[in-house]
Structure 1
């Protein structure tokens, strides 16, 4: 299984089979020794060019942080807490609407959502994700997310078009060992293409990073959106189970 070990350079390493990939937690203004300069934050210039180049693009690494004092159902996606948020995230309970809404901008009132995820059945952790279609025509297309029966943490798999829609490939989120870390594996190559973890005490911050070919943009924007919303939903499912004592 995986091994989690902190290093002195603010990088956290997972070992998945024989592979080690780094995830860099975004520095915030409240952390000792943090800096907002581009020399210490490789994504610092990303938001400045987002609106002009691709308004629905996803940054290579980011933090999902709570905007609630209590409850923990409203979140923002941003490079760091100290920078302007990029997208709003809403988490819901019940069957009338989606479990997760990834909004098109930093306001929950901005229609339409960039993507949504809804539990697929009363029993099991599978889901249906709606996100823009591969043809870019503006319509929303449904994609299935399956869940394994592994206890206490199921893995979550999906298939989606990659590399400008030239082919569909399968990917799976897998929990690593006894820690909080998760890795997204590209099953055709066994490569890790994204990772996330979260804070232990508050459970109100998720740290996400694309790695390997996932960080190059070659897999496409639709794949990136799918990776993000399935990660947030997996995180939310774990938090709910922990709150109920099921994990």
Structure 2
């Protein structure tokens, strides 16, 4: 395969499906692009066509067409390294992969015609309302063998990402996903962090819940340590004056080794994308999350009494 530097510059807005990924392009042993069964909303990818790099940037698309307003790009550390297309579902019409729920669809390539790699949406179709505090998220991943499909799409398994306030009043969002070769289900949690010198929180850090010791704080100072080995990934938001870069995701520690598996890395990216949407909609405030947590608890208690 020719060296990437000798190839012609990539046109980031040229719609095309990606070529198969080969071991010569990166780490050995990574799966080639493949697609599963065709559904009413397109194909479902069964593996990523190329691995996620250490750093992923979400960038706006500058193009004079309608699609540019409903999509954005995931690039590597170099914004010209266009990796994946993200499609926004505004919830204005029914049908499609996530019906009329506001959310995002991660495509397995650089086009909206590429197979679906993952998706995320609000649990409620009315979640964008200022009076709706149900900010629970549905995460959709290709179902595993013998795993039942979800109610939204029969070829996608459904998971929940639940908001909560930690004991030290930190906003957190928890989800679970299968990890490693044995596909063991584990819990992970995104926790809001604040970098020193910044007035407002700059992003979230991802922790493996099951690996934490009982004595370790679950937020606050521990979440601000730069080299905390328990942090598996970080998402940071762009500066307010940035019109192109939306956010940056960085894998860290065990999140870089591949031991947690491809499915885990896809779950990290799609949950990070959903958090970006929650923040965009003003749903990640302490007040909003606290109310959402109280409402969820009240619903559970009501269902238990029924």
Q: TM-score, normalised by structure 2?
A: 0.56
The gaps in structure 1 that reach 5 residues or longer are 1-45
Counterpart in the other structure of 2:235 = 196
Asked if the contact 2:208–2:231 (Cα under 8 Å) also holds between the matched residues in 1, the reply is: yes
Select the residue among 49, 54, 59 that pairs with 1:60.
54
Asked if the contact 2:55–2:77 (Cα under 8 Å) also holds between the matched residues in 1, the reply is: no
Q: Please tell me whether residue 116 in structure 1 is matched to residue 119 in structure 2.
A: yes
Asked if the contact 1:68–1:74 (Cα under 8 Å) also holds between the matched residues in 2, the reply is: no
Counterpart in the other structure of 2:187 = 170
Residue 149 of structure 1, CA deviation: 5.5
Greater Rg by CA: 2
Counterpart in the other structure of 1:37 = none
Q: TM-score, normalised by structure 1?
A: 0.69
* Secondary structure of the corresponding residue to residue 148 of structure 1: strand
Counterpart in the other structure of 1:217 = 258
Q: Please tell me whether residue 106 in structure 1 is matched to residue 106 in structure 2.
A: no
Asked if the contact 2:118–2:141 (Cα under 8 Å) also holds between the matched residues in 1, the reply is: yes
Distance 2:254 2:79 in 1: 28
Distance 1:149 1:125 in 2: 13
Asked if the contact 2:101–2:123 (Cα under 8 Å) also holds between the matched residues in 1, the reply is: no
Residue 176 of structure 1, CA deviation: 0.8
User: What is the total number of aligned residue pairs between the two structures?
Assistant: 198
Counterpart in the other structure of 2:197 = none
Counterpart in the other structure of 1:88 = 85
Q: Please tell me whether residue 140 in structure 1 is matched to residue 156 in structure 2.
A: yes
Distance 1:47 1:129 in 2: 32
Asked if the contact 1:124–1:147 (Cα under 8 Å) also holds between the matched residues in 2, the reply is: no
Residue 225 of structure 1, CA deviation: 0.5
Q: 1:171-195: per-residue Cα shift (whole Å, max 9, x none)? A: 0111113321210110112321110
Q: 1:188-228: per-residue Cα shift (whole Å, max 9, x none)? A: 12321110102112364211111111111100111111110
Sort the Cα spacing of 1:135 and 1:187 in 2 relative to 1 into closer, same or farther, 3 A: same
Q: Please tell me whether residue 155 in structure 1 is matched to residue 194 in structure 2.
A: no
Asked if the contact 1:101–1:115 (Cα under 8 Å) also holds between the matched residues in 2, the reply is: yes
Sort the Cα spacing of 1:166 and 1:78 in 2 relative to 1 into closer, same or farther, 3 A: same
Asked if the contact 1:134–1:222 (Cα under 8 Å) also holds between the matched residues in 2, the reply is: no
Residue 159 of structure 1, CA deviation: 0.9
Distance 1:197 1:47 in 2: 31
Q: 1:143-176: per-residue Cα shift (whole Å, max 9, x none)? A: 11111257x9842111111112342111011111
Range moving further from structure 2, 132-141 or 81-90: 132-141
Asked if the contact 1:146–1:158 (Cα under 8 Å) also holds between the matched residues in 2, the reply is: yes
The gaps in structure 2 that reach 5 residues or longer are 1-22, 34-47, 93-99, 128-132, 150-154, 195-199, 213-229, 289-306
Distance 2:278 2:170 in 1: 9
Whichever structure has more helix as a proportion of its residues is: 2
Sort the Cα spacing of 1:119 and 1:149 in 2 relative to 1 into closer, same or farther, 3 A: farther
